[in-house]
Amino acid sequence: MYFVTGTDTDSGKTLVSSALLEAVNLRASQTGITCSTLGVKPIASGCEQTADGLRNSDALKLMMSSSVKLNYEQVNPFSFEPAIAPHVAAKQVGVTLSPERIIDSLDLAQFQLADFCLIEGAGGWRLPLGEGRFLSEMVQQLNLPVILVVGMKLGCLNHALLTQEALIADGLIIAGWVANRVDPNMSVFDENLATLKEEMRAPFLGCIPHLAEATGKNAAQYLDMSSLL
């Protein structure tokens, strides 16, 4: 089981998470070896009201890429309509967030049945939950290895290295990192990527280019899963 975090909001966590799941699905179909996949997103803001209740597009994408099929509430137990910081959105509707409550909402027994399971975070690594608590505490309590998504744009070197420092300081293992080209016009892209390869202390899982159709299936071909499986 892995936790997926990003250098910032909109760094591409869901795209990379879906791509990781799709890459495992593809490998399983090519080798004939059964390998079940599951992606979940415990907290999501920016959800839409539907006939079935609040639904988040990121959580739905993870469900589509997962071979293990759970109901929506198991995948995204905390969903909020406003596209704002989750702890602020939660407060507006009288919901209290804490690392312990989030852990209690997760069907960890079901997650452990999957051969490859991802828990996608919200925002960046130090996402506030309110009252001085952070989502990163949940990852620490579960002692999950972390996959870091670096949104490749101006400022990403600082964000990536600071996030790496925080993860190491929190006592967690960085299982790998992915460069995701969110800005197709980023200057000196190759030089920035080379700097990250020198400075990051974890396996490089791949670089996803700016895709015309950014789907997990299209992005999966750019990932190297060998260090994760």
Alpha-carbon torsion (79, 123, 174, 166), positive or negative: negative
* Cβ(124)–Cβ(161) below 8 Å: no
Options 41, 61, 153, 217, the catalytic residue: 41
d(CA 17, CA 5) in angstroms, rounded, equals: 10
13 in active site: no
* Cβ(5)–Cβ(150) below 8 Å: no
- Which run of H or E residues covers position 129? strand 128-130
* Six token digits for residue 161: 């290295």
d(CA 54, CA 79) in angstroms, rounded, equals: 7
Q: Helix H segments across 44-134?
A: 57-65, 72-75, 86-92, 99-105, 108-113
Bridge partners of residue 147, in order along the sequence:
4, 176
Bridge partners of residue 65, in order along the sequence:
none
Residue type, 35: C
Cα end-to-end distance, the chain, whole Å: 11
- Catalytically active residues are 41
